[in-house]
Chains A and B, each alone.
Chain A
Amino acid sequence: MGHSKSTPSIAKNKGFRPELTRKKAAEEHADILKEKNAAQTMDYACRCILPMLPNGSAKIPVYYTVRYSVQFLWDTQQYGVDYAAKNLFKGVIETITKEQIIPMVTKEIWSRVDDEILMSGANKALAKVAEEALSETLATIVEKGIDAL
């Protein structure tokens, strides 16, 4: 298990003043919201939001979410969902139902992620985003299959 130093991406910029950047960003996005243009919103996000994501506390939860999700999906593809679930849960469950699959798998993956990021001081709000995105992604795949993309 590795732990990353939490370093804001933008901190290296000379003279960085977060309070000014946030105010400017809020003003700028207020204008963008009036236009309600998705491309402009993404453009704004690329300049003002995404580069500010802290390295450790935001990106490590994403890595471990991906890591354990890949394990579950790969195992399901190769050996079936029972095997995948038991492998993920370390064999402590007998069977898994369709209703249980998303909440149980998400909870278990998140429990693993939580263990991994405990020492890295992950930002709870940012970690929650990673968790919710995982839950929605798995639900979409389970419900829609090849139509999920």
Chain B
Amino acid sequence: MNIELAESNIQKFMNRYGIEGFLKLYFAKYLLKLLKSELKSKMGSEISIDPGVIFHYKGQQIEKLCDIHEYEGQLFEECKKKADEIITQFKKDKKFNDLFKGNLEKLNDPLLEKCFEKKLHEILEEWKGEN
């Protein structure tokens, strides 16, 4: 792949999915990485293993690699659903119109940072109440 193809892939992705698509993919990957990292730390030192392995630790046995991939794949699908919910909530709020429209000058507004943080906090708190 050359730089032209890389550029073309980015442009095709943006033309099809826009900033919303990027945010969906980013949040899904962020949630998956966060879960793997946090779960590892919460399992404590008794099961101190690589975060990539934590998901297939069953009892005292390490399961087959295909099971790991299947489980991580399923978990990534769950993360995508949650990423969708995050994006839906952000889109409902007019304060983030500039983010989705790529209005870059407005993204430098410190107020937007505060609003983003508050909104994300509200979404996560809402999830806690739902489960």
Spell out A's residues near B (CB within 8 Å): 1-2, 4, 9, 22, 25-26, 29-30, 33-34, 36, 38-39, 41-43, 45-51, 53, 55-56, 59-60, 62-67, 69-71, 73-74, 76-77, 80-81, 95-98, 101, 125-126, 129-130, 132-134, 136-137, 140-146, 148-149
In the complex, the answer to whether A70 meets B22 with C-beta atoms within 8 Å is: yes
A141 touches B22 (CB 8 A): yes
Main secondary structure of the interface of B (DSSP, over half): helix
Report yes or no: B44 in contact with A98, Cβ–Cβ below 8 A. no
Q: Which residues of chain B from 32 to 56 have a CB within 8 Å of any chain A CB?
A: 32-35, 37-39, 42-44, 54-56
Whether the pair B99, A70 counts as a contact (CB closer than 8 A) is yes
Contacts of B77 in A (CB 8 A): 38
Supposing A46-B131, A146-B16 touch, asked if A22 and B42 sit within 8 A by C-beta, the answer is: yes
8 A Cβ contacts from B1-49 to A = 1-3, 5-17, 19, 21-26, 29-35, 37-39, 42-44
Contact A9 B3 (CB under 8 A): no
Q: Total number of A-B contacts with CB less than 8 angstroms? A: 195
Instruction: Identify 9 new A-B residue pairs, CB closer than 8 A, beyond the known A50-B127, A71-B107, A145-B10.
Output: A9-B124, A9-B125, A26-B44, A49-B34, A53-B124, A55-B121, A66-B116, A70-B19, A77-B10
* B14 pairs with A74, CB closer than 8 A: yes
- Counting chain B CB atoms within 10 Å of each CB, the highest count among A48, A60, A134, A141 belongs to A141
| Nearest-Cβ distance from residue B98 to partner chain A, whole angstroms | 10
* Contact (Cβ within 8 A) B57 A33: yes
| Cβ 8 A contact of B14, one of A50, A71, A77 | A77
B8 to chain A: which residues have CB within 8 Å? 145
Q: Which of B13, B33, B75 contacts A133 (CB 8 A)?
A: B33
CB closest residue in chain B, given A144: B9
Docked Cα-Cα span, A144 to B67, in Å, equals 25
Are B9 and A36 touching (Cβ within 8 A)? no
Task: Say yes or no: B117 contacts A43, CB within 8 Å.
Answer: no
Known contacts: A22-B42, A29-B39. The answer to whether A55 contacts B22 by CB under 8 A is no
Least Cβ–Cβ distance between B5 and chain A, in angstroms: 7
Q: How far is the CB of B71 from chain A (nearest CB, A)?
A: 5
Q: Roughly how many angstroms separate A96 CA and B102 CA in the complex, as a whole number?
A: 23
* B114 at interface, CB cutoff 8 A: yes
